[in-house]
Amino acid sequence: MATPDKVGNKEMARDTGSGSSSRDEELGEVAPVKNGKLKKSLKNRHLQMIAMGGAIGAGLFIGSGKALSSGGPGSVLICYTLIGVMMLFTCQALAELSVVYPSNGAFFEHCLRFLDPTWGFAIGWGYTLTWLIILPFELIAASITIRYWNETISMGVWVTMFLVLLSMIQIFGVRGYGEVESLLSMIKIAACCGFIILGIVINCGGVGDKGYLGTKYWSDPGAFRNGFEGFASVFVIASFSFGGTELCGLAAAESERPEKSVPKACKQVFWRIAFFYILNLFIMGLVLPCDDSRLLGSVGPNSKASPFTLAIQDAGIKVLPHIMNGVITIAVISVANSATYGFTRTVQAMAQVGMAPKYLAQIDSKGRPMRCTVVLILFALLAYIGLAPNDAAMKLFEWLLAVTGVTYFFIWGSICLAHIRFRNAMKVQGLSLDLIPYKPSSGVWGSWVALIFNGICLVASFYVSLKPKETPAQTAESFFKGYLAAPVMLVLWLIWKLRTGEWRLQTPLHEIDLRTDAKFIDPADVHREPEEPRTWKNLPKRMWGALF
């Protein structure tokens, strides 16, 4: 048995789409698998649309209602902005790592290489479990949104239709994923733009009978609710809303030109945060009071509780609520499509290195990890649990979802820490930063800020989960449903530590393999185009380059 310092360092050979490697042979765990290779079919426009609309889903259209009710419009604006800035820095760090080391495992592979193989094992399985559980839940959510139009047809009919649709998309491989996400993202972006315009009209008294609103609801019932507890709860909800942003880095291995498209796609996070989230939520807080009792239903995937739908209904517009409900349905399907992509690519990468069943490492001749897809579709059959006549089945689902609770904080924090250690390893091993094809303007300090913010999110989630309830049993249930993912990550970490018998916490910087499969700039070209000096005169130009 090889020790973890070998797994993820000099003996680590990453051949994207290859089922056998020198690392596998040394481990003695994975027999060579005859594989095809992942197809580099994602074009620049695919990554741009995935970046722009990939994380616009139920978290924005539905979950924001719970956030508004819990903390008020002021808390919503502040918390979503802070988490958005954190995600901007995280995506910038992921872009740099993905350009230098484009692999189908993305941050899972980065954790193996720059942190520790054991923590990479925990991150990989935490991420795959998250998508594995989210998919059937999203199928139920999409089926529930259909009830807005017709409550007589069984939910099982819609679950079946959505499952068939997702299966058909997988037939076309990564190109199918890219085209579908591009189309759905354009629809979601158009809906966000439309709501901004409509919200301004509603606020100015152009429609409805409320007249001019201005900042009325910020004064009565107020900008903040439930004190610090309300603020902390919005902090947690806002964090979950950005889940899926990291998919741009995951798609690097299947991009035609990752050195160009991945950085540009990750830069689009700024505009998604500023325009589609912050501006939409600010306007929503202007046209809908945070004490509206209908918002309390936003805890579940019920489109009728969406604050966007409620705002349109209150304006007396007859057709638009149906259009918005359709957009919400599309958003939920988009998340399900992303779940399929995120799970299959990550678990296939884990299988290549012996951290998942070797059977799942197979890639067919058309570049599709179909075995991983079959496993996911089979697990998605759990969506039929929504047909159960009582609440016991859905209680099971709630506990399954608890496993995914704070996993994203560990993933995003690990991306930032991997970037920090990558830069430190470059310095320790005497490699120039000029060899890196893409360096974000935020540098390594942006990763430090995002890492600290992830820690704050974990503390806030702990605080909200531990809030005392009416009985000790309810308090315990609330805590484990909100924070179960943390002990799950610890258990995953211990499993691989026990298996390998290596108990060091991280790979020493001087042992990190920086050269295997690295896409560094040719040293002969490093000094041909000297970097423009940083002065106040070129600040606008540098800011424009950072955002575009």
Write down the pLDDT at residue 544: 52
pLDDT grade for 542, boundaries at 50, 70 and 90: low
Residues 66 and 48 sit within 8 Å (Cβ to Cβ): no
Answer whether residue 33 shows pLDDT above 50. Answer: no
**Tokens 């290859």 found at:** 18
Distances (CA, A) of 536 to 98, 439, 441: 30, 20, 15
**Tokens 């909100």 found at:** 482
Helix (H) or strand (E) holding 459: helix 443-465
Average pLDDT, the chain: 77
As a three-state string, the secondary structure of 273-298 is: HHHHHHHHHHHHHHHCCCCCHHHHHH
Whether omega for the bond prior to residue 221 falls within 30 degrees of 0, making it cis, is yes
Q: Is 316 helix (H, G, I), strand (E, B) or coil?
A: coil
Q: Which amino acid belongs to residue 269?
A: V
- pLDDT of 493-525, one tens digit each? 999 888 888 888 888 888 888 888 888 876 655
> Of the candidates 355, 353, 354, 356, which has an alpha carbon nearest to the alpha carbon of residue 371?
356
Write down the pLDDT at residue 51: 62
Alpha carbons 183 and 163: distance in angstroms, whole number? 19
Residues 159 and 139 sit within 8 Å (Cβ to Cβ): yes
Write down the pLDDT at residue 371: 86
Mean pLDDT of all residues in 167-176? 77
What are the E-state strand segments in 429-500?
Answer: none
3-state helix, strand, coil in the chain (%, to 5): 70, 0, 30
Answer whether residue 107 shows pLDDT above 90. Answer: no
When comparing pLDDT for 168 and 103, which is higher?
168
When comparing pLDDT for 61 and 417, which is higher?
417
Alpha carbons 509 and 431: distance in angstroms, whole number? 12
- pLDDT of 114-167, one tens digit each? 998 899 999 999 988 888 888 888 888 788 778 778 778 888 888 888 888 888
- pLDDT of 429-472, one tens digit each? 988 888 888 888 788 999 999 999 899 888 888 888 887 776 77
Write down the pLDDT at residue 44: 64
- pLDDT of 363-389, one tens digit each? 877 777 888 888 888 888 888 877 776
- pLDDT of 211-252, one tens digit each? 888 888 898 888 888 888 888 888 778 877 777 777 777 666
> Of the candidates 514, 486, 507, 511, which has an alpha carbon nearest to the alpha carbon of residue 122?
486
For residue 321, the tally of other CB atoms under 10 A from its CB is 20
Share of the chain above pLDDT 70, in %: 77
**Does the model's pTM come out above 0.85?**
no
Alpha carbons 67 and 73: distance in angstroms, whole number? 8
Contacts 24+ apart (CB under 8 A), 10-13: 10/511, 10/513, 10/516, 12/112, 12/113, 12/513, 12/516, 13/516, 13/517
User: Rounded to 5 degrees, what angle do the CA atoms 309, 311, 316 make?
Assistant: 95
Answer whether residue 103 shows pLDDT above 80. Answer: no
- pLDDT of 382-421, one tens digit each? 888 777 766 665 676 677 777 777 888 899 999 999 999 9
Tokens matching residue 244 = 């899926």
Alpha carbons 143 and 481: distance in angstroms, whole number? 24
Cα dihedral 349/351/355/356 (nearest 10): 120
- pLDDT of 310-349, one tens digit each? 888 888 888 888 888 888 888 878 888 888 888 888 888 8
Residues 39 and 175 sit within 8 Å (Cβ to Cβ): yes
Answer whether residue 177 shows pLDDT above 90. Answer: no
Of the listed ranges 88-102, 412-426, 534-548, the one predicted with least confidence: 534-548
Distances (CA, A) of 339 to 136, 192, 334, 435, 519: 10, 22, 9, 34, 28
Alpha carbons 239 and 64: distance in angstroms, whole number? 11
Q: Is 342 helix (H, G, I), strand (E, B) or coil?
A: helix
What fold, for 34-547? Amino acid/polyamine transporter I (1.20.1740)
User: Rounded to 5 degrees, what angle do the CA atoms 85, 75, 88 make?
Assistant: 10
